Amino acid sequence: MAPPGANSAAAPARRSKTDVVDAALGILATQGLPDLTMRRIADELGVRPSALYWHFPNKQTLLAAVSERILALSGSAPDPTPPWREGATAIATSLQRCLLRYRDGAELVSSSLAMGLIQPPAQRQLLELALAHRMPPALARVASSTLVHFVLGHTFHVQQRLELARVAASAVGAPVPAATAPEDDFEGGVALIVHGAESLARADPRP
Amino acid sequence: MAPPGANSAAAPARRSKTDVVDAALGILATQGLPDLTMRRIADELGVRPSALYWHFPNKQTLLAAVSERILALSGSAPDPTPPWREGATAIATSLQRCLLRYRDGAELVSSSLAMGLIQPPAQRQLLELALAHRMPPALARVASSTLVHFVLGHTFHVQQRLELARVAASAVGAPVPAATAPEDDFEGGVALIVHGAESLARADPRP
DNA sequence: ACCTGAACACCGTTCAAGT
DNA sequence: ACCTGAACACCGTTCAAGT
């Protein structure tokens, strides 16, 4: 009766990798990274923890899949090629927005990246942009990776303060600060790195 | 008979906070951060895990004490005030050397820092150096924190690759790569940030 | 193909009680 | 002041077995 892919009432529901990642993202958004355990993901899916190991070999690769979904909306460089300064800033900002969309997003992505389970986000776009502006390749590489690490590190820091504020607020019974204030030195740090690369490139132009 | 502070043969040995941190550093150096558990530290000291909670309220503060010891040798700015470029580079390099002295040093320090349990290392020295060179305060702040985060992030990355190489090597039975190669873009990244700050300061000099 | 059931080998932490 | 003993409430992971 039921067409393939639809669940009849009799057959038990079956989960796909996508469903598992969805459940994990839901827990991440509402509970945060410390509560993102295999057992809670299983609960959310109405399944036993061991079932998850049919979909993923271990927790690390599951979290890497979650990281990739968080980064999926990271904007690519627009066409036609924008100026270095504007383009690099836009890429950095877009990356930060992705990370801020989920609680502890930067920490999660950083650790997946550190374990070599995902590619450095936005780095390819930055590299291409830099090379399009005839930046020396070695400098382009350094500038891209420095910028990406700055965004990750800074956003991690911002989100960690947000978590601390959260526990402090909940201890007093106060409402949690919902939105992330633009805060502070994000723009300054990005500008520093972008400008530094530009200036060094001028001092040592490509033949 | 025994003078105060010495252990007679009859009285059981007693541990100080310092002893606990020493034991933790030993485990960190030989086993790495994932094996730095309360139970293993207790074993190392010949004590039950619960005993550690007399010295420290929880694991996080114990690890923060370990972080502070790792950073204790971080060099301060020499006298007389060196040029910005050389001074900032020296501070960054000295910080990196401290972090590299213990396995997973950068990760440990980063997480203590993220939880707000230690002060950002080397930041005060960098700030003072920048201000001594009449850099605008806002720029000096951004430059200092960007540089510190770069060193932490980069060293974290280097050490993580070292750990991955370690497991790969031990899986094959090969000897582990003992020393850390200077590797790669550390100098480049530091130069980029230091130069960027210098260049921006020239463009917007302090009155 | 997808999941259960049951177990294994761990964690951090608390707390009354000992000396 | 410093530590033991025993417990509590968790973890990630494995693996035979079910459907």
In the predicted structure, residue A11 carries a pLDDT above the cut 60 = no
Domain membership of residue B191 (yes or no) is yes
Best residue in A89, A161, A192, A195 to probe B by mutation, most B CBs within 10 Å? A192
Residues of chain B contacting residue A164, judged by C-beta atoms under 8 Å apart: 115-116
For the segment B9-65, what is each residue's pLDDT rounded down to a tens digit?
445 689 999 999 999 999 999 999 999 999 999 999 999 999 999 999 999 999 999
- For residues A53 and A82, membership in a common domain is answered with no
- For residues B102 and B168, membership in a common domain is answered with yes
Which pLDDT does position B4 carry in this prediction? 38
For the segment A91-100, what is each residue's pLDDT rounded down to a tens digit?
999 999 999 9
Segments forming the whole domain that contains residue B46? 14-57
Higher local confidence (pLDDT), B32 or B74: B32
Looking at residue B34, what DSSP letter applies? G
Residues 6+ apart with CB under 8 A from A48: A42
| Chain B residues within 8 Å of chain A (Cβ atoms) | 114-116, 138-139, 141-143, 145-146, 149-150, 152-154, 156-157, 160-161, 164, 185, 188-189, 191-193, 195-197, 199-200
- For residues B111 and B187, membership in a common domain is answered with yes
Spatial distance from the CA of A43 to the C1' of C1 (Å): 21
Give CA–CA dist A178/A195, Å, rounded.
33
- For residues B39 and B129, membership in a common domain is answered with no
Of B146, B154, B185, the CB nearest to A141: B185
Residue with tokens 């059981």, as numbered in its chain: B12
Question: What is the domain-level CATH number for residue A26?
Answer: 1.10.10.60
Domain membership of residue B169 (yes or no) is yes
| Chain A residues within 8 Å of chain B (Cβ atoms) | 107, 114-116, 138-139, 141-143, 145-146, 149-150, 152-154, 156-157, 160-161, 164, 185, 188-189, 191-193, 195-197, 199-200
Give CA–CA dist B122/A83, Å, rounded.
35
Question: What is the domain-level CATH number for residue A82?
Answer: 1.10.357.10
